[in-house]
Amino acid sequence: MIGIILFLILVLLIYATGLLPGVMKFISGFFALVIVAFSAAAFGWPTVIAGFVAAVALAFIALWLVGRNVNRPIAVKSNHTDIHQQLEKVNKEERQRRNR
C-alpha cells in the first residue's frame, strides 16, 4: 500500500514540475485516480489516508536524514602523498614504454 502511495506521490511531483507531456499528464492522472479508487474500494478510505500519511512521513524522515549528513566533512581514506607516489610510478612506467 505504501508503495502505491509513494508511486502516486512521484507521479504528482513529476506532474507538478511540468516534466510530463500533455498526453502523459492525462494518462498518469487517470491511472492515479484508478489506483486510489481501487485502493479505497479494496482497503477503505482510512487505510488509504493512513498509507498516504505514512508515505509522506517516510519522505520527510528521509529528507531529514539526508539533511543531517550534508554538512559533515567527507573523511579522506587514502594518504595524499601515496596518490602522488602512485602517479609518479605510472608516469615513470609510461616514459619507459615511450623510450623503448
Give the count of domains, the chain.
1
Please list, residue by residue across 17-52, b when 16 or more beta carbons sit within 10 angstroms of its beta carbon and e when fewer do. Answer: eeebeeeeeeebeeebeebbeebeeeeeeeebeebb
Is the pTM of the predicted complex or chain greater than 0.85? Answer: no
| pLDDT attached to residue 81 | 63
Domain that holds residue 19: 2-99
Taking only the tens place, the pLDDT of each residue in 64-81 is 888 777 677 766 666 556
Q: Is the pLDDT of residue 46 over 90?
A: yes
